Chain A
Amino acid sequence: MIYLDYNATTPLDHRVFEAMVPYMNNHWGNPSSPYSFGNQTRIAVEKSRKRVADCLGCKPVEVVFTSCGTESDNLAVRGVAHALRNRGNHIVTTAIEHHAVLQTCKALETEGFRVTYLPVDSDGAVSLEDVETSLCPETILITIMHANNETGVLQPIEGISALAKERGITVHTDAVQSAGKLQCRLCELGSDLISISAHKFYGPKGAAALYIREGTPLEPLLAGGPHERNFRAGTENVAGIVGLSHALDLAAEASDSECRRLRNLRDRFEKQICSMVPRMKINGRSAQRMPNTSSMSFESVDGESIVFGLDLKGIYVSTGSACSTGDPEPSHVLLAMGLSPKEAQGSIRISLGKNSREDDIESAAAALADMIKRLRGISSTESAAH
């Protein structure tokens, strides 16, 4: 098989798996227990916290472990909104956020919050000017993602953080798609809250974290015990937390050379497709974007048919984000970039990772070009006689 959907999820690195095993096996004590047996797992959790903090460039107390990227996003956005509801009711986000942020914002609207969904340019990036003009005295939170999951386009988080800092506005950044993949200490972006998720960088599913800058006002989502400095009640997923920290460490080690390798492969793939397939475009091509991601739109074909046709050949790509598969709505990200619904419907995403090899990329490009040709041959929107 040729797996080209690393933005959806990644396989667990065997070294990460090995590191997790003791905590699914012999070290099964509760980190909150008052005796030495529980203490082994407490130490493991706190060592992991230190490790994650070192990778992100923050203090250990600023790292809170959660169960998934969606939970981190919910905790950040709802948590700040609820903590600051007496100071203001305005939230700024973009039209291209992950559903974890968009749907949370929608839910907050029903609670009386006002949300601005900023547009993006045709390359999929939000402008600092738009962010600045959207701010008002009631703005309490800006939540804008680092790398978009569908296009890989990077948003100007450092500039946004600077704007917010001058005005005392809290900034959250969903960095789920960039964490562990870019040579960058995420805390240097300047955000007050940052979401990351282990399974995007060869860690386990069910383990994620939220960086919370010390002093950031935040209400927890869950009522319960005093775990995670009262921010996240519930017994810690010790093996998952160990796995997350291990995976982030490994990702940081490899990321510079791996970034270059993936960028070369991705660029080669795009070049090949462009030369073999007419009437297509690469979304966000001239923007700053993740080295491993390519979003492509093909005229006169349906993205789901491309994905299915390639699936039959053992090649795995996706239409948009994994979460919206099965959703007949065209990608909200591509629509926000100004693509027509038809163009958005003819789009696929490929995302590369550790196991992507040059020959796989070549075969995948050839198979994709064939598939487009075949589907165009039966497409009613191709003009032949009629």
Chain B
Amino acid sequence: METPSKDGDIELPEYSGPILLYNENVVDHFTNPRNVGELSDSETDGFGLVGDPSCGDQMKLWISVKAKRIDKIVFKSFGCPGAIATSSMLTDLAKGQPIYVAKCITDDDVIDALGGIPERKKHCSLLGVLALQAAIKDWESRQASDGEQV
């Protein structure tokens, strides 16, 4: 056992508070992110990969589409707590929605649904939105090429 220095022991103040400026909802989505995962190639109808060069964050998002509705949506994220929480919330918002609705989800919608995030973290919420739009675009182009083949 290490013996700590005897004299001069300093009482540290009791502090266990919620954290920085993130609200409970953000903490929850960071701690228990929804819809984390990957889809296999056969399940995937659209895939989006985006990076935020300003902070180095990266996100991958997969969708499967049934009757022009988002049937499955999963993501993986390399990034800060803000990026993880907003990505999680975005997938919750988009799940089960018709494509035309999912397409219109904005970063503000995600932030509102979380009850706000710190100002300097607002750019993080764009990452998920852009990944979803990229995945939808991918689905659309797959649709178009399928159409041509017919």
Contact = CB atoms under 8 A, between A and B. Distances in A.
Interface of A: 1, 3, 11-15, 202, 250, 254, 257-258, 261, 264-265, 300-302, 304-305, 308-309, 311-312, 314, 326, 328, 330, 341-342, 345, 354-358, 377-382, 384-386
Contact of B78 (A254, A300, A309): A300
A304 B83 CA distance: 11
Nearest to A250: B8
A265 B84 CA distance: 33
A14 B5 contact: no
A207 to B, nearest CB: 17
Given A1-B16, A326-B120, A328-B54, A355 B10 contact: yes
Given A1-B15, A358-B1, A380-B58, A302 B8 contact: no
A326 B40 CA distance: 37
Contacts of B16: 1, 314
B57 A302 contact: yes
Contacts of B41: 385
A331 to B, nearest CB: 12
Q: Choose among B30, B80, B120 the residue with the greatest number of A CB atoms under 10 Å from its CB.
A: B80
A355 B14 contact: no
Contact of A378 (B2, B55, B76): B76
B46 interface: no
Interface string B50-92: 0000111111100000000000000111111101100000000
A258 B124 CA distance: 43
A14 B8 CA distance: 7
A378 B77 contact: yes
B27 interface: yes
16 contacts: A11-B13, A14-B10, A254-B5, A258-B5, A261-B4, A302-B80, A308-B22, A308-B80, A354-B10, A355-B9, A355-B12, A357-B4, A378-B33, A380-B58, A380-B78, A385-B39
Given A302-B78, A380-B77, A354 B5 contact: yes
A202 B3 CA distance: 19
A312 B19 contact: yes
Contact of A354 (B2, B4, B56): B4
A355 B7 CA distance: 11
A167 to B, nearest CB: 42
Interface residues of B, number: 46
Given A302-B80, A305-B80, A15 B8 contact: yes
Nearest to A303: B80
B8 A13 contact: yes
B56 A341 contact: yes
Contacts of B10: 11-14, 202, 354-355
A342 B76 contact: no
B33 to A, nearest CB: 6
Contacts of A264: 2
B31 interface: yes
Given A202-B8, A328-B120, A354-B5, 8 more contacts: A11-B12, A254-B5, A305-B79, A308-B81, A311-B20, A378-B33, A380-B49, A380-B58
Given A261-B2, A328-B55, A312 B27 contact: yes
B56 A345 contact: yes
A165 to B, nearest CB: 37
A386 B60 contact: yes
B8 A254 contact: yes
A311 B2 contact: no
Interface in B119-143: 120
Contacts of B14: 1
Q: Give the 4 A-B residue pairs with the shortest CB-CB distance, closest first.
A: A380-B76, A380-B60, A304-B80, A328-B55
B31 to A, nearest CB: 7
B122 to A, nearest CB: 12
A202 B10 CA distance: 9
Contacts of A354: 4-5, 8-10
B59 A380 contact: yes
Contacts of B79: 302, 305
